[in-house]
Chain A
């Protein structure tokens, strides 16, 4: 199985590491996965026999790009060219999620499908802006597109959703889906200001250097759009009514606590089909009232009633594990 990895940041590197560990499990399915190429901002490296992970990391650290590898490094090669040359069986899209549009990830995904490759993506943007285009292309090319890593990471939100919707119907859902903002709100409950909580979250690596996507609610908006698209398609993140946590003050949290509530950044699809993200009051002790870096999702099913999922939000390894699960699924589906 020839795999091309596009994007060599934290998720890409974690993916490479986990692939080494999971090699045996792949072989039990009769597959011999080989990462035949990696593309980053500086270019690409390609190797028919599979890239050498350890040495590539050193090269990346020293030169800033895998493209400077002495064996199979191509400094001017972009992802589209790498897809054409490598002819991968599966293309893993792990570039950073763009803001405001699908960005280059959409081109990568469409080109990969056109060249007959299945796609596994950790990049949210194409599934929040151009879901229908991606899925139509996949259908017309007879290829599969998986994107479990875009929502929840280690928490199997999309897989559970697909299982639930066989013979049932999602009436609405709500979720606390962003670990960073939830963590900041948890620290603020102790009286810390927003700025102080954000500083601590940054210092221990929970918040990114630029946390805008998280605290503005945009990351949650992407995720609920992807969930809504998985349910019925036809949604774009632009339609989400959006409010972040920047204006929440410790006194709001104190006041809520006195009345038996907590404040969490909640993303939801209402029964009327509206997508909304914003700070919401949740009854203390309710399932969605999670603290720290936990995520929680509630699906309200027409027949089964409420179904809950609870677990730790995504980090690079959780996201990489979700990518690997998607590759497994493709392999199993191909065998049927």
Chain B
């Protein structure tokens, strides 16, 4: 069996979760572990001297000690000694990086992998505490390799280049440090957030295991954020395309690449709860297996800004949209949503708040000598809301129901976009209205109250 243990999903209480996972140890268990992104970021910030070594060390020590909680007696002492050694090495690397004038291309992956490996060691110690001989390896040692494109858009993905290696190490209980990889030269490379879930899917496919279990603290994927509406309930099944939409939004379970790959390789993703990690809460699989509800879930992405790019000369000029998006992309800004009037005199882009200045700079500099753009209007504190459901495809009146519910809640819609797949409808509202809109769609469209 394969479990993807992303600490982002599970939280930091590992003892109980490992006890539950251990119940299946006799069947053979491969557990792919990913540290929390926040703690990886601490290291990145410290390496770039944006955080003091002391502060970073305190945060790392707090996280690692929290993960080791519950390991008993002598084993606990040896784990603590390993944690101290790892932290000392991290301090040494941070110092070496500082002397080199900042984060070095190889130094940062070495540190991130050291952290990821330490987390994997702690997980294996929890199993050892239960009398199970759990070994640990890195994804690189198990035959995985980071592959990066050397042309735009510089994609980053992972490939299983040595399947025999994976097969030879996958015996008994194996803990894999899911983001600790190697590059094509065999040098250490750290995989980005969520890529451990891609490793899980590739491993499942190679080992001919039909599903990957993803334990989650609150168990399953919800129809809406339970903090926003207490009527939210677990969605029993999602198609791959629905899961893909949701993974791009706030409902993070596995990475979008993992969902896409799971569909391609025919691997089911079973989202479970940390109390019962092998019991299905939400199953992500082929469309025919899923229930026929029109809208399955509603999710939101806060912290966005709207950029309205306007100019009469834009109308009928071929390539305007491409030029605008190109200037924004050149600044490394990802556009979350695009909407354009049929009159073609305006185009609306949604970008993250933190990227707004960069996007504006790109547009102002890129079009400084042209009269194509007359005005750029911005609106901050915007939230994107998406209603997701495979059943929306070809069903008449869904958009009307959604926007009627939103209007009745007194929420003003700032921009709307729908992809040609018709699996989701996204729209932007002011952040102060976002929860009202989510609640309205959830209660009136999903639950049909």
A contact residues vs B (CB 8 Å cutoff): 13, 16-17, 20, 52-54, 57-58, 60-62, 183, 186-187, 200-201, 203-206, 291-294, 312, 315
Decide if B161 touches A62 in the complex (CB within 8 Å).
yes
A17 to B154, CA, bound (A): 9
Contact A54 B106 (CB under 8 A): no
Among B89-97, B124-132, B395-403, B411-419, the stretch in contact with A: B89-97
Can you list 30 A-B pairs, Cβ within 8 angstroms, ordered by A? A13-B150, A17-B154, A20-B150, A20-B151, A52-B151, A53-B151, A54-B149, A57-B148, A57-B149, A57-B150, A57-B184, A60-B184, A61-B161, A61-B184, A186-B99, A187-B99, A201-B96, A203-B96, A204-B93, A205-B105, A205-B110, A205-B187, A206-B100, A206-B104, A206-B106, A206-B107, A291-B99, A292-B100, A292-B101, A315-B105
B320 at the binding interface (Cβ < 8 Å): no
Question: What is the CA–CA distance of A62 and B160 in the complex, to the nearest angstrom?
Answer: 11
B73 within 8 A of A: no
Please tell me if the beta carbons of B101 and A294 are within 8 angstroms of each other in the complex.
Answer: yes
Whether A204 pairs with B110 at a CB distance below 8 angstroms is: yes
A293 to chain B, nearest CB (A): 5
State how many angstroms separate the Cβ of B351 from the closest Cβ of chain A.
Answer: 21
- Which chain A residues lie closer than 8 Å to B203 at the CB level? none
The 9 A-B pairs of least Cβ separation, nearest first, read: A205-B106, A204-B107, A61-B184, A54-B149, A53-B151, A17-B150, A54-B151, A200-B96, A53-B150
Nearest chain-B residue to A293 (Cβ)? B100
**Smallest CB gap from B92: residue in A:** A200
Chain B nearest Cβ from A22, distance in angstroms: 12
Partner of A292, one of B99, B151, B152: B99
A-B contact count (CB 8 A): 69
Say how far A277's CB is from chain B's closest CB, in angstroms: 22
Contacting pair B147 A204 (CB below 8 A): no
In the assembled complex, the Cα of A315 lies from the Cα of B154 at a distance in Å of: 19
The yes or no answer to B281 lying at the interface (CB within 8 A) is no
Residues of B within 8 A of A58 (CB): 147
Find chain A residues with CB under 8 A from B110 CB: 203-205
Contact of A204 among B100, B149, B150, B161 (CB under 8 A): B100
A204 in contact with B104 given A17-B150, A54-B150 (CB within 8 Å): yes
Task: Select from chain B the residue with minimum beta-carbon distance to A60.
Answer: B184
Bound together, the chains give a CA A205 to CA B105 distance in angstroms of 7
Could you say which residues of chain B place their CB within 8 Å of the CB of A291?
Answer: 99
Q: Which positions 73-112 of chain B face chain A at CB distance < 8 Å?
A: 92-93, 96-97, 99-101, 104-107, 110
B184:A203 contact, CB within 8 angstroms:
no
Interface residue? B145 (CB, 8 A): yes
CB distance from A220 to the nearest CB of B (A): 18
Interface members, chain B 407-427 (any A CB < 8 Å): none
Cβ-closest chain A residue relative to B152: A20
Shortest distance from the beta carbon of B153 to any chain A beta carbon, whole Å: 10
**A183 vs chain B, min Cβ distance (A):** 6
Q: Which residues of A lie under 8 Å from residue B149 when comparing CB positions?
A: 53-54, 57
CB distance from A3 to the nearest CB of B (A): 15
Q: In the assembly, what is the distance between CA of A203 and CA of B99, in Å?
A: 14
Say yes or no: A312 contacts B101, CB within 8 Å. yes
By beta carbon, the residue of chain A nearest B184 is A61
Residues 133-191 (chain B) with a chain A CB within 8 angstroms: 145, 147-152, 154, 161, 184, 187
Q: Is the CB of A183 within 8 A of B99?
A: yes
Write out the residue numbers on chain A whose beta carbons fall within 8 Å of the beta carbon of B93. 200, 203-204
A151 to chain B, nearest CB (A): 20
Contact pick for B107, options A52, A61, A186, A203, CB 8 Å: A203
Residues of B within 8 Å of A17, CB to CB, are: 150-151, 154
- Which residue, of A52, A291, A292, has the highest number of chain B Cβ atoms within 10 A? A292
Distance in angstroms from B202 CB to nearest chain A CB is: 15
A298 to B154 Cα, complex, angstroms: 39
Give, as a whole number of angstroms, the nearest-CB distance from A176 to chain B.
14
Residues in A neighbouring B99, C-beta threshold 8 A:
183, 186-187, 291-292
Chain B residue contacts of A204, Cβ below 8 A: 93, 96-97, 100, 104, 106-107, 110
A57 proximity list for chain B (CB < 8 A): 147-150, 184
- How many whole Å from A209's CB to the nearest CB in chain B? 9
Q: How far is the CA of A183 from the CA of B104 in the complex (A)?
A: 12
User: For B93, B161, B184, which residue has the most chain A Cβ atoms within 10 angstroms?
Assistant: B184
Inside 8 A of B184's CB, which chain A residues have their CB?
57, 60-61
Q: How far is the CB of A60 from chain B (nearest CB, A)?
A: 7
Q: Please name the residue on chain A nearest to B330 by beta carbon.
A: A21
- Residue from B97, B100, B106 with most neighbouring chain A CB atoms (10 Å): B100
Choose from A61, A294, A312 the contact partner of B147 (Cβ within 8 Å): A61
List, in ascending order, chain B residues with CB within 8 A of A294's CB.
101
When distances are taken between beta carbons in the complex, the residues of chain A under 8 Å from B105 are 205, 315
